[in-house]
């Protein structure tokens, strides 16, 4: 078995590295983003279940130049039909959430280039709205949904959020069906939106960002005791 290379140590000069990763999302790995090319067998994409650990070898590295990045790693891992993926034992049971203090986000201490994670109690949940989604060409516009809400943290700092698309519909359905006095949730891989005057709101990236209600994690359990 090849020796594993730490993700933080990946470099273009390393020949045929092998890495061990936990799949946090089909759109994002632990501390590096991975891409499956169209030629890659669909069966391999299926076996990479979220929450499981894998070893990966025979992959390419590309510099990450995206305007918004899922991770802070300078590379993307590119998988192809030549890549080899195998199950691996966990090296840690960390959930790898990148929680940021609300105050630091509002004050501009969290870089808007990188997606972050948040947790708190849902407040000020609005109605499911319909808006026009602008297309690339004439006549390409379509209708979609959005929902405005806020999170409040244990220090009673509120942060505005706007969910779009399927995430908005998921939140609306859950909020409409639950009768609890307090609903705690975790937002993962959400983007910071800035404008004139500073922070505006947090928003989701369709197909990447997630919202989880009352997950069993230490931060949520501690929140419940306050």
pLDDT of residue 90: 73
- Express the helix, strand and coil content of the chain in percent, nearest 5 each: 15, 40, 45
Say what the pLDDT of residue 74 is: 67
Is a pLDDT exceeding 90 seen at residue 153?
yes
Residue 188 within any structural domain of the chain? yes
Residue 192 and residue 117 in one domain: yes
Cα 90 to Cα 25, 52, 155, 186: the distances in Å are 16, 8, 34, 23
Are residues 198 and 135 located together in one domain of the fold? yes
**Residue 130 and residue 77 in one domain:** no
From CA 105, how far away is CA 218, in angstroms rounded? 22
Q: Domain ends where: 31, 57, 87?
A: 87
| Percent of the residues in the chain that have a pLDDT greater than 90, as a whole number | 41
- Do 112 and 203 lie in one domain? The reply is yes
Tokens 């273009």 belong to residue: 12
Rounded to two decimals, what is the model's pTM? 0.69
Rounded CA separation 219/97 (Å): 10
pLDDT of residue 128: 97
pLDDT at position 136 is 66
- 31 pLDDT higher than 50: no
Same domain, 27 and 65: yes
Cβ-count burial of 101 within 10 angstroms (0-12 exposed, 13-18 middle, 19+ buried)? Answer: middle
> Domain of 139?
102-224
The count of structural domains within the chain is 2
| Structural domain contains residue 97 | no
What is the band of 169 on the pLDDT scale with cuts at 50, 70, 90? very high
Res 60: pLDDT = 79
**Between 131 and 33, residue with greater pLDDT:** 131
Within this chain, do residues 77 and 155 fall inside the same structural domain, yes or no?
Answer: no
Same domain, 130 and 66: no
pLDDT tens for 171-181 read 999 999 998 88
Q: Residue 151: which region, alpha, beta or left (left: phi > 0; alpha: psi -120 to 50)?
A: beta
Q: Are residues 124 and 75 in the same domain?
A: no
């Amino acid at each position: 078995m090849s020796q594993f290379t730490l993700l933080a140590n990946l470099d273009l000069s390393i020949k045929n590295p092998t890495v061990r990763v936990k799949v946090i999302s089909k759109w994002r790995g632990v501390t590096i983003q991975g891409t499956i090319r169209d030629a890659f067998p669909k069966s391999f994409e299926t076996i990479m279940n979220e929450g499981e650990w894998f070893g990966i070898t025979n992959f390419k590295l590309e510099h990450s130049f995206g305007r918004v990045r899922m991770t802070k790693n300078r590379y993307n891992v590119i998988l192809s039909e030549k890549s080899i993926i195998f199950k691996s034992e966990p090296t840690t049971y960390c959930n790898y959430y990148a929680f940021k203090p609300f105050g630091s986000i509002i004050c501009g201490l969290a870089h808007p280039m990188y997606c972050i994670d948040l947790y708190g109690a849902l407040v000020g949940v609005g109605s499911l709205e319909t808006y026009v989604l602008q297309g690339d060409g004439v006549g390409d516009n379509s209708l979609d949904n959005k929902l405005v809400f806020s999170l409040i943290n244990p220090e009673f700092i509120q942060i505005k959020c706007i969910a779009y698309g399927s995430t908005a519909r998921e939140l609306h359905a859950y909020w409409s069906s639950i009768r609890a006095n307090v609903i705690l949730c975790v937002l993962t891989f959400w983007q910071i939106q800035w404008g004139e005057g500073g922070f505006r709101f947090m928003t989701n990236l369709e197909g990447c960002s997630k919202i989880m209600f009352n997950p069993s994690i230490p931060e949520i359990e501690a929140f419940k005791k306050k």
